[in-house]
Amino acid sequence: MTTVLGLNAYHGDAAACLVRDGKLVAAAEEERFRRSKHWAGFPSLAIEYCLAEGGLDIHDVDSVAINSDSKASLARKLRYVVGGNASLSLIREKLRTRSKRAGVDVSLGQLNGGTPFRGDIHRIEHHLAHLGSAFLVSPYERSAIVSVDGLGDFSSAAWGVGEGADIRIDGRVHFPHSLGIFYQALTQYLGFPNYGDEYKLMGLASYGEPEFLPQMRQIVNVRVDGSFRLDLKYFRHGKHDISHEWDGGMPAVSRLWTDELIGLLGPARDASSELTQRDMNLASSVQAMYEEAFFALLNVVHNKHRTRSLTLAGGCAMNSVANGKIRNQTPFENVYVQSAAGDAGGAIGSAFVAWHRMSEQDRDFTMDHAYWGPSYSNSDINALVQSRNAEIQANDCSVRVVSDTDALTQEVAAAIADGQVIGWFQGRMEWGPRALGNRSILGDPRRADMKDILNLKIKRRESFRPFAPSVLRESSEDWFETDDDVPFMMKVASVKPDCREHIPAVTHVDGTGRLQTVTEQSNSRYHQLITAFKNLTGVPMVLNTSFNENEPVVCKPAEALDCFLRTKMDLLVMEDQIIQRKAV
């Protein structure tokens, strides 16, 4: 038996995974345990979970793999510094982060008595880890491979081909040119300053028209070889001191854009101001520019490797709007994006790259579901409910146990059909940022007012952001213009025109939905619930949003109960326990 612990450490979305004999055992992001979004630092609690799931302690682990290699592109880094392109403060910040990653063996040793970790440590170049996180767990024997993100190990993109267990990189875009930084900087400019806010710009883009695309093309230059370059006068990251906080807690990144951007696009939006049509058109233009560069790269990669299949990774692979257009905009027929495509996924990628290097074995694992986190038994949940029974009663809630799964799913389906909002907590927690039916809030997709109900009762978020449909895989082609499997909610598809009026709560303003296809094999209980809802209503889907309220998605039963009690959810289902709020 050989075990590899994979890490994304001292970066946003710190995470850990455990691979045993070439198969994934567990994976989780540190934010779920720390309760701080995108938590950055050393993922000690995620490591502890993964080791416990595998029945190990740290000194039982054969190897640790981390998704960063400070020696990567070393000559290019030195030329950049010697050429006077980087400020002293930027150099100091990079050296500080490098020092922390170099001491990962000491941090590992602190998990078990302070003795430094004595196993092998594999430092896997950032984009190789990204590519491994997609291709090495994909269902394809051979595919084109593409990684696009903000920055890692002095690169922002890498591409090539994967075959068997081998990955060959044949092209890169190097720092400071980056589609991810372009998207992040323009997200800041549009008044969304927090780390990870890019999804807000993506949702807003559907409300606008790309009238600023000519200006965007002055910012991003798409080249015939599939690469891209930024006009650096609009960005600060290449030379100035950009503050990054990776020491623990939510990451923070200081302003990436220069005042030259105001000269090109006009005044930046203040975060507290109302959104205007101009803001929506700017968002649409940013998305259009990203897609133009992205599809140009994909078409060049296809022309070189002539594969039917594509695997995607990196933070930009979370752009589900662009992902949903790949089959129309490129010759690729099959696209795989695993559920944690961003930096957290580098933990899996580094572990699988290291495993295959050591074992020289063929691949024998496909990630076809995302349920790799902690689970809790009915006895765990019952003990929690009993310990907090007085608080539950004081909130005018009743508690019942429904052990028969058929009866439970039929009751919950009826409650959804009646317009109630359901907290749904079951099984192992999802790996990645999407709630996929184990840590979800559920509602009726048929109700035009359901978005307003959810925002009023629980989410308290921007009204322009869409909610997602979880649809039975066997019925998805009847409602959406796609025949793809979309188990990880990583693609947006058009809702068929004659279906849109029937599911307004999950149909975005542009007629699309970010769907999740659900199979009985991947999640039998969730599939059974949606089937029960279909039998009641004729609609084979439910509205699904993450189980949280301006916090990381809930991990433990206590967090689910806390979220239920402080919001206005109607029903909380935790395995066989039902907690019901009395009707007002």
**Shared domain check, 312 and 215:** yes
**Shared domain check, 152 and 85:** no
What pLDDT digit, counting tens, does each position of 279-301 carry?
Answer: 999 999 999 999 999 999 999 99
Could you tell me what percent of the chain has a pLDDT over 90? 84
Q: How far apart are CA 317 and CA 148, in angstroms?
A: 7
**Shared domain check, 392 and 535:** yes
Distances (CA, A) of 52 to 45, 49, 184, 340: 11, 5, 36, 21
When divided into structural domains, the chain yields a total of 3
Note whether residue 321 is domain-resident: yes
Tokens coding 125: 């170049």
Confidence of residue 197 (pLDDT cuts 50, 70, 90): very high
**Shared domain check, 455 and 389:** yes
**Shared domain check, 22 and 81:** yes
- Residue-level pLDDT at 94: 55
Note whether residue 373 is domain-resident: no
- Residue-level pLDDT at 546: 97
Long-range contact pairs involving 84-92 (C-beta distance under 8 Å, separation at least 24)? 85/176, 85/238, 85/239, 86/238, 86/239, 87/239, 87/240, 87/241, 89/240, 89/241, 90/239, 90/240, 90/241, 90/242
**Other residues' Cβ atoms within 10 Å of the Cβ of residue 365:** 14
Angle, helices 277-305 vs 198-205, to 10°: value is: 100
Q: How far apart are CA 149 and CA 158, in angstroms?
A: 9
Note whether residue 293 is domain-resident: yes
For residue 557, the cross-strand partners are none
Note whether residue 367 is domain-resident: no
**Shared domain check, 446 and 316:** no
Beta-carbon contacts of residue 232 (< 8 Å; ≥ 6 apart): 176, 238, 239
Between residues 464 and 53, the one the model is more confident about: 53
**Other residues' Cβ atoms within 10 Å of the Cβ of residue 572:** 26
Q: How far apart are CA 518 and CA 290, in angstroms?
A: 29
**Shared domain check, 496 and 402:** yes
Q: Is residue 248 over pLDDT 90?
A: no
Q: How far apart are CA 340 and CA 430, in angstroms?
A: 10
Q: How far apart are CA 331 and CA 90, in angstroms?
A: 41
**What count of Cα atoms within 13 Å lies in the side-chain half-sphere of residue 510?**
20
Q: How far apart are CA 425 and CA 438, in angstroms?
A: 5
3-state secondary structure of 203: helix
**Shared domain check, 34 and 17:** yes
What pLDDT digit, counting tens, does each position of 305-315 carry?
Answer: 999 999 999 99
| CATH value at residue 112 | 3.30.420.40
For residue 213, the cross-strand partners are none
- Residue-level pLDDT at 125: 97
pTM: 0.95
As a three-state string, the secondary structure of 449-494 is: CHHHHHHHHHHCCCCCCCCEEEEEHHHHHHHECCCCCCCCCCCCEE
Between residues 463 and 319, the one the model is more confident about: 319
Confidence of residue 159 (pLDDT cuts 50, 70, 90): very high
Q: Is residue 99 over pLDDT 80?
A: no
Note whether residue 368 is domain-resident: no
How high does pLDDT run on average in the chain? 93
**Shared domain check, 110 and 21:** yes
Distances (CA, A) of 193 to 233, 245, 449: 20, 14, 29
Tokens coding 306: 């002539």
| CATH value at residue 481 | 3.90.870.20
Tokens coding 208: 């606008």
Write down the residue that tokens 């008044």 correspond to.
191
Q: How far apart are CA 499 and CA 504, in angstroms?
A: 9
Q: How far apart are CA 155 and CA 64, in angstroms?
A: 23
Distances (CA, A) of 493 to 264, 489, 512: 33, 10, 5
Note whether residue 520 is domain-resident: yes
**Shared domain check, 163 and 113:** no
Q: Which amino acid is at 302?
A: H
- Residue-level pLDDT at 239: 74
Note whether residue 477 is domain-resident: yes
Could you tell me what percent of the chain has a pLDDT over 70? 94
**Shared domain check, 154 and 184:** yes
Q: What single string gives the DSSP state of each residue in 23-81?
A: EEEEEEETHHHHTSTT--S--HHHHHHHHHHHT--GGG-SEEEES--TTTTHHHHHHHH
Provide the domain limits for residue 185: 147-334
Note whether residue 540 is domain-resident: yes
Element (H, E) at 142: strand 142-152
Which of 359, 394, 424 marks a domain boundary?
359
Q: Is residue 345 over pLDDT 70?
A: yes
Cβ contact 78:95 at 8 Å:
no
**Shared domain check, 495 and 402:** yes
